[in-house]
Amino acid sequence: MKKIALRDDWKTTPLPAQRKVLALDRLYTPEEFNRIAAGVRPGGMECKWFIFHEEPWLYLHRSWTGFCIYQVRFEPMNGQYRVVEVLVSRDPTQYGSTNDRRDILLLAILLDRLAGRDCEPLKREFHLINQQQTAEVQQINCGKKA
């Protein structure tokens, strides 16, 4: 049986004051929510997330730094669990992303993977956004001297 992740299992830093509210419409069955709420304790260097749940919030921290990137609040609704609030870090010293759509997709992938859902369509869209961002950065850097 999988051990439930707890805050004290890993070093953590709270979500910074520089944050943004994002909209994510997600509904999970009780079984899926239980898998999400069990969280993730990193088992090796390839695991990039430490995730734990303390009612009513799910906390998603980068495993290497302990920085909190997301906080997600769930509420029971008609026998299921709905995401009702999402906060994302916007502190550039802790998290470099400022693309809301990318952050929503990444969070949806993380939650759906924990729930045991198929994430492939979300992953394809996420990778497409990353490719577009890389191309935009390359265009911006074009012609600049190093």
**CATH number of the domain to which 78 belongs:** 3.30.530
- H-only helix segments in the chain: 30-38, 100-115, 120-141
Instruction: Identify whether 71 is part of a domain.
Output: yes
Those residues with Cβ within 8 angstroms of residue 17's Cβ, 6 or more apart along the chain or in another chain: 91
Query: Which parts of the chain register pLDDT below 70?
Result: 1-2, 133-146
Which one-letter DSSP state was computed for residue 15?
P
pLDDT at residue 105 in the model: 94
DSSP states of 21-41: EE----EE-HHHHHHHHH-B-
Instruction: Identify whether 122 is part of a domain.
Output: yes
- CB atoms < 10 A from the CB of 129, how many? 15
pLDDT at residue 60 in the model: 97
What domain count does the chain have? 1
pLDDT at residue 133 in the model: 65
Per the CB < 8 A criterion, the answer to whether 126 and 102 are in contact is yes
Instruction: Identify whether 84 is part of a domain.
Output: yes
Which residue range forms the structural domain that includes residue 114? Answer: 7-139
pLDDT at residue 129 in the model: 86
Instruction: Identify whether 146 is part of a domain.
Output: no
Per the CB < 8 A criterion, the answer to whether 109 and 122 are in contact is yes
For the entire predicted model, the pTM comes to: 0.87
pLDDT at residue 131 in the model: 80
Instruction: Identify whether 115 is part of a domain.
Output: yes
